Amino acid sequence: MALDILLYKNGSLFKREEFNESLHNEIFKSNNNWRSYLVLRTLSDFYLTDVKLEQAKIDQLAQELENMKLFINNKVYISDIDHLINTLKNEECEEIWFVGD
């Protein structure tokens, strides 16, 4: 199971990615540092997440995820976070929607 990450340009969906449950658990269950990050904490409830972000918040989330890497020891999760950050930094993207189940 995963959160869907829907990327939009000009109001149209152009790419779909996933925020997998194991990465979500690593970020939100292994420590409480995420509570300091305003955008990241909107994604904390894996099953009830329904969050749309525009460019300023997308940039903020990318920076918050970069900061969270300091608290993650597993290289696989660091790689997953890097992939997510790269997804967020997609220049074509104007809006992102995180959708839970």
Backbone torsions φ then ψ of 39, nearest 5 degrees: -80, -45
List, in sequence order, every residue forming a beta bridge with 15; answer none if it has no partner.
Answer: 7
Which stretches of the chain score pLDDT less than 70?
1, 101
Cα separation values, 4 from 17, 33, 80, 100, 101, Å: 6, 23, 15, 7, 9
- Tell me the CATH number for domain 2-99: 3.40.1760
Instruction: Work out whether strand 12-20 and strand 2-9 pair parallel, antiparallel, or are unpaired.
Output: antiparallel
Q: What is the pLDDT of residue 54?
A: 95
Instruction: Quote the pTM value.
Output: 0.91
Closest CA to 41 of 24, 56, 20: 24
Domain ranges of the chain: 2-99
